[in-house]
Structure 1
């Protein structure tokens, strides 16, 4: 539980969850297209295109909203009955590297560093885990999911940037098709462009495009040149989306992330906000700016909550959208 949320606030948040789910699953905004800007200045603020990609997919495939509503109903049922994964979930990972330059052809060591970061962050082994403030110490979570690098695929291309229209996931468009996406997590390392660090596909989308895309400059522990996104947390954030987590502010002012123990945020936070950072939403809660699903710098995010853990675990249970990865 988040101990400083009042009973009325909790009720309001639950009511908002229902309305927000309907809004998210049926709203369609402008599609994000490929960017040709591969030489832009350093990115000042984290950019994740997961929500925009979802909205484009919903526009193209109306049945996706139905599938995602079914996943939400399934998740809610699993949370209510507490029938979650009993045992360890181990995720085989396939990394697809698309490169035009030598710098984009990231090394095996850099790739392994991203796997190491995922294992640390999802198992509460990150060195900054103990920096979680006392206010949130009762809800910080060891998710208990591990990742194993299984294969690296590499392909030289002529593209300077790939955009967010999933071209990197399609061999016919110059990219690489995903490998066994129902039983393996596919990561693509490439130049995305447009100020986007990465994006993921939520459960329920097409298996032909399932996985996570991370700009090669922010893949793993890639060095001080890419500060403040050089600690592999773009991967942690995007894999969180792949496991059905929403942005902590709910992609709306005072929105809901569909998790009961995260405080309501005004909007995304950037940089490393000073603690405590108060929301002006109902009840003026202290925002959980150090949560992986906010937009802070890599060094500013270092926890998942117990509610997020339960939401992630639900998708791996029998009948869940990622049951192929479960035990």
Structure 2
């Protein structure tokens, strides 16, 4: 049965890596220090002056025939991703009036790789048959030895694994600074793209938009706390108490953030696909700081 409520394990993975990989803690601290400098100095803004194209490989890990999603389903997902990151998605018209001026084009696009790590032609889709009924959070789907598919070099490609996930998960991502061999994004096959097996309410491709945001160092909009003490380290997203689900009605007020409330329509909340449709200028600055710092190898991609 398809999940009815968004659940992302990116922060669960973040906490696991903090415990298991001492270098990740150091790298994340450095990334935050760099982000602050890059935003204040204009370095992030300079990245945004030109289009950054990220070579992408999609690992389709499947057991049942229906899990081996079609090329068309993969292409439908890339189309959504590119609209969302360029702010050309038609549903930006639904952004409430107080925030229309904050909608921002990240000037990032994603293209399926045309060359594999050995320089051979590829369509950017890797298909691996597994004996695993499903995967959970962690790295097993990213390893051949565990029934998954080994990552392509993560400083040259965005690795996306599409598979069956257990526990009601829609996906998760690895934040910058983690192990290169597991770097990338994992998405449930029925929450990937807009065609084929994509199932409502997660059939508009927004799960990958959300998870790639984490890959580019964005936090959840509420800061992953259970009170008003959190924050996503972005100045133009209102503080809010916790995640929103489903399709809320504007405004949703918490943490004294009236009159407009929380920005539940932001891609980094937990609402249904049809209810999320924007990144802010502050979030774009943070993503561009990531591309100037821990993910700077993508500023001059060579794998296309």
Instruction: Give the Cα separation in 2 of the matches to 1:281 and 1:181.
Output: 41
- 1:44 corresponds in structure 2 to 4
Q: After the TM superposition, which residues 278-317 of structure 1 pair with which residues of structure 2 at under 5 Å, given as runs?
A: 278-281=253-256, 286-317=261-292
What TM-score results when the alignment is normalised by the length of structure 2? 0.91
What is the CA–CA distance in structure 2 between the aligned matches of 1:62 and 1:179, rounded to whole Å?
A: 23
TM-score (norm 1): 0.85
For the pair 1:262 / 2:222, whether they are aligned, the reply is: no
Contact 1:118 1:235 in 2 (8 A): yes
Q: How far did 1:280 drift?
A: 3.4
* Equivalence for 1:116: 79
Question: Per-residue displacement from partner, 1:197-237 (whole Å, max 9, x unpaired)?
Answer: 00000001111000000011111113587100000000100
The equivalences for 1:72-87 within 5 A come to 72-84=32-44, 85=47, 86-87=49-50
Cα shift at 1:56: 1.0
- Deviations 1:293-327 (CA, angstroms, capped at 9, x unpaired): 0000000000000000000001112xx11111014
C-alpha deviation, 1:125, in angstroms: 1.1
CA distance in structure 1 between the aligned counterparts of 2:205 and 2:214, rounded to whole angstroms: 15
5+ long unaligned stretches in structure 1? 1-40
Structure 2 residue ranges without an equivalent (≥5) = 114-123
Aligned mate of 1:274, from 225, 249, 252? 249
Report if aligned partners of 1:223, 1:230 keep a CA contact under 8 Å in 2: no
Distance 2:156 2:236 in 1: 30
Cα distance 1:304–1:282, how it changes in 2: closer, same or farther (>3 A)? closer
Displacement of 1:181: 0.8
Correspondence 1:182 to 2:155:
yes
Q: After the TM superposition, which segments of 4 or more aligned residues of structure 1 sit over 4 Å from their partners? A: 282-285
Q: CA RMSD in A?
A: 1.4
Q: In the alignment, which residue of structure 1 is the partner of 2:193?
A: 220
- Matched residue count: 285
CA contact (8 A) 1:264 1:285 kept: no
